[in-house]
């Protein structure tokens, strides 16, 4: 089983994903996965690439009810054809609960736990006057967490379940992912530039 290098994985993302917001999402999940790989002493490239390509087919095949081509089934077929590592394939399967594949490793749990959370954190950053994720604190996320109408599409239950599977306190998990995302603030477009553009 051959693992894609990061550059190859990003080329794949650019081929399959045109949406700026979806590209930012996979970059955020990649950052979270790399942070957890470092924390657990795991393979950072494997975990990072898994995060980067986990939603590869979502833009082209968003219908999750399609049993043949719906997300992430098309991507999973491609990953198998490419001979990607079984651990990567299993984690991508596990992040889609409707496939019924149990999450059995830390990598599986980390992907599931981080996927929805990155969207919530980005939403919190977008509503700050500075539009800078580096100004966001865990307490900011906690406040918005309680408001069920805020980022209503984000499944709090999935995030809680993922953190439990990782064996990490929910708010510690939020802190890990938030810090990882702060490290790529510019790539996420959440480094304050949006606020500056709004002033011009």
Q: pLDDT by residue (tens digit) across 110-132?
A: 999 999 999 999 999 999 999 99
DSSP state for residue 102 in the 8-state scheme: P
Query: Phi, psi (5° rounding) for residue 153?
Result: -75, -15
Where are the alpha helices (H) located in 19-132, listed in sequence order? 20-40, 44-53, 73-81, 86-94, 106-126
Say what the pTM is.
Answer: 0.94
CA distance 114 to 180: 11
Q: Among 28-32, 96-100, 118-122, name the one with the lowest average pLDDT.
A: 96-100
Distances (CA, A) of 54 to 39, 65, 75, 85: 20, 18, 8, 13
Q: Does 65 score more than 90 pLDDT?
A: no
Q: pLDDT by residue (tens digit) across 165-186?
A: 999 999 999 999 999 999 999 9
Q: Give the pLDDT band (50/70/90) at residue 198.
A: low
**What is the Cα 37 distance to its own chain's centre?**
14
| 132 strand-pairing partners | 191
Question: What is the dihedral sign for C-alpha 16, 19, 20, 22?
Answer: negative
Structural domains of the chain, ranges and CATH numbers in brackets = 6-199 (1.10.3210)
For the chain, what is the mean pLDDT? Answer: 94
Question: Which two tokens mark 4?
Answer: 């894609």
């Amino acid at each position: 089983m051959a693992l894609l290098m990061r550059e190859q994985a990003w080329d794949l993302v650019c081929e399959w994903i045109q949406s700026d917001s979806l590209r930012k999402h996979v970059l955020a999940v990649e950052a979270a996965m790399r942070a957890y790989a470092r924390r657990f002493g795991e393979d950072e490239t494997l975990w990072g690439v898994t995060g980067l390509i986990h939603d590869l087919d979502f833009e082209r095949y968003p219908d999750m009810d399609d049993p043949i081509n719906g997300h992430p089934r098309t991507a999973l077929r491609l990953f198998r054809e490419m001979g990607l590592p079984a651990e990567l394939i299993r984690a991508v399967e596990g992040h889609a609960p409707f496939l019924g594949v149990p999450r059995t490793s830390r990598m599986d749990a980390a992907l599931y736990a981080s996927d929805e959370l990155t969207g919530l954190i980005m939403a919190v950053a977008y509503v700050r006057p500075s539009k800078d994720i580096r100004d966001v604190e865990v307490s900011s996320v906690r406040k918005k967490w309680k408001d069920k109408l805020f980022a209503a599409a984000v499944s709090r239950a999935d995030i809680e379940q993922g953190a439990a599977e990782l064996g990490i306190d929910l708010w510690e998990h939020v802190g890990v992912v938030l810090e990882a995302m702060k490290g790529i603030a510019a790539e996420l477009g959440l480094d304050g530039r949006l606020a500056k553009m709004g002033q011009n």
